[in-house]
Structure 1
């Protein structure tokens, strides 16, 4: 978790979107880092979405984030399986505004060079990638 805090960009003015928020582990950190930004949390799985909604008192969007509006996005965060990451590359990246940041955990975006890569302080030294859409 500390690796993600360390790599998050500062001074954002647009929306933050966590695609697949699961059990909500990043919610407190994102709220603290971006108190003035609109943050959207997306999770299709009903049990984690309900848990997150109840524990953190937030609106979790239970829709397919591939249908989301990314026009005001300034930071996208995703920790998804490789098949979904490929769809992020083909379906979402082309919609993102110039300058938008994309943070991925574990799985990189193929064919793109990250601005920064750090290793988490966990057993696996899990990589966290930060990209910027140019």
Structure 2
């Protein structure tokens, strides 16, 4: 956030640990009011695109995690699973991997759901 006094406040949260870090940056020179206003309008105008980008990155990270977890579970328990169910899971896994490789967010979302359903059927 950039306030009217030219003080920039930035906060970041580590998703792995939940740790929050904050910093405030003050400039040696002050910005003109119209410059601050322009910057605030730019930030507001880009907020939606920034959120969409953040959502896309989160979806890709979740898909990568689902691929990793599924492969790990197949290595551990794959020999105990019925062949037809294992084959279904492997097909869904391959489809999700292809969606991640193609950077297709919609396919990643649907692929994660399909893989989750197949894994639930597998037990």
State the structure with bigger RCO (CA 8 A, min sep 6), 1 or 2.
1
Query: Structure 1 or 2: larger strand share?
Result: 1
Q: Sort the TM-score into its range (normalised by shorter chain).
A: under 0.3
- Higher Cα Rg, which structure: 2
Query: Structure 1 or 2: larger helix share?
Result: 2
